[in-house]
Amino acid sequence: MSSDERRLKRGLKDVSNLFVEESGLDGKFFDANESFLKCVGVYRPMSPSPGLISTKIASLLTRCGISSAILSIGRKLEAGVKGMFEGPCLEIPWNDFEQLKRKALSMKIESCVRRQVLFLDFEEHSAEHLRSVVPLLDRWIFSVPPTVDAIIEAYRMIKGTRRLVQSSMQYYLVFEGDIRGREADEVLFEKFSAVLSEKMGINLVWLGHIAAGSGRGHFDEAFDLSHFFLRDAGAYELPDKLALFDHVKAETSKTMSFFDENV
């Protein structure tokens, strides 16, 4: 979906309720045989608890029938993550992750569950981690307060990693915290989106607002996860990406149904 199409979509919603999509994730985003295996990163530079947003989104996806897991790469999971998300929460040492990536796997997409989301938790301030993990991402969510300083931090990360991402990467923006000036937030998003489009050719996708509370259920009514399912420009199923799904499958198959072939 191009930036013009997204602006048109937002504009039509303002004109009439007829153009407002129904809420919820009920599978209408998929064709019968369409796969949705996605590695997702969440960058939260203004918070000491970056895993919070991952658990919220993973919980929402799981409740709506899209199996999700959280994989922490090269570091311990944040305290409380397992308590906030009932799905698989795993850790993999950095050396094991590097060895996993180097395996020459010949895995066909049909051999995996067709619809799974894997949230990758990694050290964004490490150049080595960025070089190894960012190329695997299909979706990168930037969750920041609606402030200029936060937008600058998001811009720095996007610009600094631009050469690492695969061509079909989709970038998303979430505003978090107390929600007051919605109109001002929308203007800030539009200006940031315009800069990314002009400077780097990136079509930023708006997910909306999310409350910053630490418990479950702190989603604002304006949080629109349907945009998370925008069609990709092309298939991106490299062996090292699929190896991560295979790793999670192996680690959870004895106790959990994360990879249920009937999903």
For the chain, residues with pLDDT lower than 50 are 5, 8-9, 11-24, 27, 104, 107-111, 214-217, 261-263
Q: Which of 73, 98, 69, 77 lies closest to 250 in space, CA to CA? A: 69
**Domain extent at residue 200:** 35-252
pLDDT value at residue 235: 56
Residue 257 lies in a domain: no
Q: Looking at this protein, which amino acid is placed at residue 107?
A: M
Residue 64 lies in a domain: yes
CATH number at residue 49: 3.40.50.300
Q: Residue with structure tokens 């050396």?
A: 95
Measured distance CA(91)–CA(71) in Å, rounded: 6
pLDDT value at residue 14: 47
Residue 113 lies in a domain: yes
pLDDT per residue as tens digits for the range 53-104: 888 888 888 887 788 999 999 998 887 787 888 889 999 999 999 888 776 4
Measured distance CA(5)–CA(129) in Å, rounded: 34
pLDDT value at residue 155: 97
Residue 211 lies in a domain: yes
The total number of structural domains in the chain stands at 1
Residue 25 lies in a domain: no
Residue 185 lies in a domain: yes
pLDDT value at residue 78: 83
Measured distance CA(204)–CA(1) in Å, rounded: 11
The phi and psi torsions of 71 (rounded to 5 degrees) equal: -120, 115
Centre a 10 Å sphere on the Cβ of residue 10 and count the other Cβ atoms it contains. 13
pLDDT value at residue 261: 46
pLDDT value at residue 152: 96
pLDDT value at residue 194: 96
Q: What percent of the chain has pLDDT over 90?
A: 36
pLDDT value at residue 65: 78
Residue 262 lies in a domain: no
Residue 259 lies in a domain: no
**Mean pLDDT over the full length of the chain:** 78
